[in-house]
Amino acid sequence: MILLTGATGTVGRPLVDLLRGAGAEVRAVSREAAAAGLPAGVEVVAGDPSRPDTVAEALDGVTALFLHPRAVGDAATGLAALARRRGVRRIVALSATNVDDDPSEQPSRFAGDRNREAEKAAAGSGLEWTSLRASFFAANTIAMWGAQIRGGDVVRYAYPDVSELPIHQRDIAAVAAHALLTDDLVGRRVELTGPQSLTHADMVTVIGDVLGRSLRYEELAPADAVDRLVAHGLPEPFVVALVARYGRLAGTAQPPSNDVEKVLGRPAATFAQWVADHTAAFTDQPERR
């Protein structure tokens, strides 16, 4: 039995499908179990992973635990210790490529992610462990530009020359499934990136190419970008940290890792492939399955 935290999220949902497809028994812990919407055959139990005492019974009979840094929050160490006491043998933690940066320079921390804590808890648990250090999620571009692209052909955003290594969430999930189901990645920190370094402007061009549209990137001043993102409902501390990160990285290409290909035996999906799978986010076309 494999227990998943964050099972309804960007990585967790495809991970559920991959594990079930491999014949694994899957148990998902959710704060809103009745609304989880997971497929038949998945056992959904109510609990809050950030409060380990609420998921203690859900750990009974579990051999492996997927630790999601946002779902678990500051309770990663406590949950890992509880898992060990309940007989869990393996922990796979989702982390990030920037996990070793100063915490104040990790924007996702301001959105609730505790990547460093999740990785440290897994590695220090005394159990078999793996940390998946993921790069920029390609899915982030939906929140960044989706509404603008649905509404027109101009994308207004800061720092067109900031490069990212956009990765398909399905590739992260596939490596996570491999780590949970095999011994190949035990004791490793695996760096998961997309196959290409692309600037913001490059990514907008790729989206346009896939959609068959000519999109134009219009640079905003950093302060204007902050104001726009906050006005769209994003927390100001997160936005300020995010735009500051852009300023630090502007003009510097990031080298991709080939760990996805080493683990899966195939190249990581390109950003263009991700866009083709998610056209509904940018148009009224149905999403590819």
Question: Hunting for tokens 């159990």 — which residue is that?
Answer: 127
50 domain-assigned = yes
Residue 237 structural domain: 136-167+193-254+265-289
pLDDT band, residue 34 (cuts 50/70/90): confident
pLDDT digits (tens, 9 = 90+) for 198-228: 999 999 999 999 999 999 999 999 999 999 8
Residue 176 belongs to a domain = no
Which strands form 2-4's sheet, in the order they lie side by side? 43-46, 26-30, 2-4, 64-67, 90-96, 128-134, 188-192
Q: Is residue 174 part of a domain?
A: no
User: 0.75 exceeded by the pTM?
Assistant: yes
What is the per-residue pLDDT across 39-51, written as a single tens digit (0 to 9) for each? 888 999 999 999 9
Measure the CA–CA gap between 240 and 222, rounded to whole angstroms: 9
82 in a domain, yes or no? yes
Judgement on whether residues 35 and 140 belong to the same structural domain of the protein: no
Sequence letter at residue 18:
L
Q: Residue length, the chain? A: 289
3-class DSSP state for residue 246?
Answer: helix
Q: Confirm if 123 and 190 have CB atoms less than 8 A apart.
A: no
Name the nearest CA neighbour of 5 among 61, 60, 59: 59
Q: Domain with 248 in it: what CATH number?
A: 3.40.50.720
| Domain match, 62 and 91 both | yes
| Least confident window among 42-46, 123-127, 269-273 | 42-46
Do 121 and 162 have their domain in common? Answer: no
Query: Do 280 and 205 form a contact (C-beta atoms < 8 A)?
Result: no
Separation of alpha carbons 217 and 215, rounded Å? 7
For residue 179, is it within any domain? no
Q: Is residue 41 situated within a structural domain?
A: yes
Q: Assess whether 34 and 54 both reside in one domain.
A: yes
6 with 117, same domain: the answer is: yes
Is residue 22 very low, low, confident or very high in pLDDT (cuts 50, 70, 90)?
A: very high
Statement to judge: residues 152 and 129 lie in one domain: no
Q: Are residues 78 and 144 in the same domain?
A: no
Total count of domains within the chain: 2
**Are residues 284 and 158 part of one domain?**
yes
* Residues 153 and 238 occupy one common structural domain: yes
Cα distance between residue 272 and residue 151, in whole Å: 21
